[in-house]
Structure 1
Amino acid sequence: MKAKAEAAVESFLAMLAAQRGAAANTLSAYRRDLTGAADLIGPLAEATRADVTRLGEAWIDLAPSSLARKSSALRQFYGFLVDEGIRADDPSPALPRPRIRRPLPRLLGHEEVASLFHTAEEDAAGGTPEGLRLLAFLELLYGSGLRATELVSLPLASVPRDAPFLTIVGKGGVQRMVPISARAARALAAWLVVRGKGGRFVFPSPRGGHLSRVRLFQLLRDLALRAGLDPEKVSPHVLRHAFATHLLEGGADLRVLQTLLGHADIATTQIYTHVDSARLVTLVNQRHPLARG
């Protein structure tokens, strides 16, 4: 029984890796949650609804986020068993369903973003490598919505000579094409002129390899301070949020935004819809057939 259950878990993890491109850390997290559940109720592939109900009782003291993660892992596992014909029934409805309010992203307004760019452009006007690099950072974070890790680890090979796209390898090793604006391309080209030779990364570190996420964070905080903004309000992720929010305000389709951000699940992208409620109300009032009546 135990061997069969373990084989089912391994098959499920193999599916996550092959079909969804799950990263090693993600697979390790799923393995821990599934193994922990099996320790409580026995072989998961043979568990009944009564067994699964006992999990809710054992997890009663967990934080809502931890409970939601463990329940999600079990639901996906049992869905996989049913799809593969390993078992005919799905006991996962007996799992608890905690309600978690997802935190809204911190936002930057258009004027705040303009202040950041004004200060960065003044720095870049001096022609120093530091100033040109900082402007390239800002253009790619706000102009293309890159994650901090995607930005600092950007290989030189991903920067095309003529096409207005970057080839990005995001979470789980999933590759996507990200468009860059003409102004971002100019900022990037100016940085590459002064970057120097050697290394395989667009933003190399003096100690070898690429610039760290921590250093990027520090540079942006310093820029915010000089731009007259609260440094606590500015980070690479906040600029990525601003990219998404302002695109949505401008009329971007949510599915297009999902592709640009590299989200595997549209539900992750839907968090941005809260910022655009006024535009959505206007859209309904103007475009719905009854509104025209």
Structure 2
Amino acid sequence: MAARKTSESRIDLRLVRAELPPEAGALVDQYERHLGLERGLSEHTVRAYVGDIVSLLGFLHGVPNENGRNPDSRTALQGLDTAALRAWLAELHAGGASRTTLARRSAAARTFTAWARRQGALDSDPGARLVAPRTHRPLPAVLRTDEAGSVLKASSAGAVQLDPEALRDHAVLELLYATGVRVSELCGLDLGDVDLGSRVVRVLGKGGKERVVPFGVPADKALRSWLDEGRPALVESASKPHATALFLGIRGGRLDPRAVRRVVHEAVGSVPGAADMGPHGLRHTAATHLLEGGADLRSVQELLGHATLATTQLYTHVTVERLKAIHDRAHPRAR
């Protein structure tokens, strides 16, 4: 099993994929279709999963090996066992891969080998015996309640002039903070996904899973202003406006996640002392403030669209200060 000596940039992995033996290349193509069509994963997630598997198969088949040539006597997954998986991870570790990267690669390998076993490409599942390295998950940066209020207050002040972009940006910020939706989910919203009467939004999340998320009065007001004053103005000025998208870019197309990231960075950056963050930081902030306000983990999990409660538990650190305060007030030996 030849050790790969090249770095694993995206360009390198494309070259590796092109040089895989035909059987392995066909299996990668089949797995990619499975991820995108059957599991409904996002383009970004599919690209990451496939890149990890190309890395694994490139290692397994010695692409590239020291002579720059592929072994031609192997079938697609011949030699793929737990020892090979561990050797692949060891090589990545020796190349400087972080514990987080190794954990992600381990998870990708386990998902792939389980699928390959179901497809009959493997007689057994070697990934089931692969233990991923434990990762240290840093606590996400979040805004304090007063900082979030300052961000939205400044944003609303900009929208007073009824500038279409300012109205849109304020509605975007209010909805991100009110619902904790992902930036891709926000940009994918259509006009029909918003029920202003009930103050809920229907979101299509990861894996094509749909959920309904409520929002409050400030977000409702911001959305109504955008729909009444801002969106019509952008539609009128655009040559080919998007017919159904809730949020539009300056040229009338569906709002791009990069534009939302810019909006959030600029808005948060206007508040002195606030941690720099993008849309995902507002998602963290929304979850944190929900828990601080007394929401239970299961409810927050449903609102955020987390597949497992373990992901939502990342936010439980915020309850520590609240518990300390309750302890100080209620326990006779607290002071």
1:18-66 per-position Cα deviation (integer Å, ceiling 9, x unaligned): 6642223333333332233233335436533443343244333241233
Cα distance in 1 between the residues matched to 2:288 and 2:266: 23
Cα distance in 2 between the residues matched to 1:125 and 1:283: 41
CA contact (8 A) 2:300 2:312 kept: yes
2:286 to 243, 251, 257: 243
Matched with 2:59 is 40
Further displaced range: 52-61 or 139-148: 52-61
Deviation of 1:152 (Å): 3.8
Deviation of 1:230 (Å): 4.2
Further displaced range: 111-120 or 170-179: 170-179
Matched with 1:21 is 40
2:178 to 143, 157, 168: 143
Matched, 1:206 2:225: no
Matched with 1:61 is 95
Structure-to-structure mapping, 1:98-247, within 5 angstroms: 98-160=133-195, 162-195=197-230, 196=232, 198=235, 199=241, 200=243, 201-224=245-268, 226=270, 228-230=271-273, 233-247=276-290
Cα 1:259/1:105, change in 2 over 3 Å: same
CA contact (8 A) 1:221 1:232 kept: no
CA contact (8 A) 1:41 1:54 kept: no
Cα 1:9/1:88, change in 2 over 3 Å: same
3-state SS in 2 of match to 1:176:
strand
Cα distance in 2 between the residues matched to 1:259 and 1:221: 27
TM-score (norm 1): 0.78
CA contact (8 A) 2:143 2:275 kept: no
Matched with 2:7 is none
The two structures, once aligned, show a CA RMSD in angstroms of: 3.6
TM-score (norm 2): 0.70
Name the aligned partner's letter for residue 98 of structure 1.
P
Structure whose residues are more often helix by fraction: 1
Matched, 1:76 2:76: no
Cα distance in 1 between the residues matched to 2:215 and 2:281: 19
Name the aligned partner's letter for residue 294 of structure 2.
G
1:76-121 per-position Cα deviation (integer Å, ceiling 9, x unaligned): 2333455677756443366463332223211110111122233233
CA contact (8 A) 1:82 1:88 kept: yes
CA contact (8 A) 1:121 1:135 kept: yes
Name the aligned partner's letter for residue 260 of structure 2.
L
Cα distance in 2 between the residues matched to 1:32 and 1:154: 29
Identity within the alignment, %: 36
Query: Which consecutive unaligned segments of at least 5 residues does structure 1 have?
Result: 287-293
For this pair of structures, how many residues does the alignment match?
285
Name the aligned partner's letter for residue 135 of structure 2.
I
2:314 to 249, 271, 274: 271
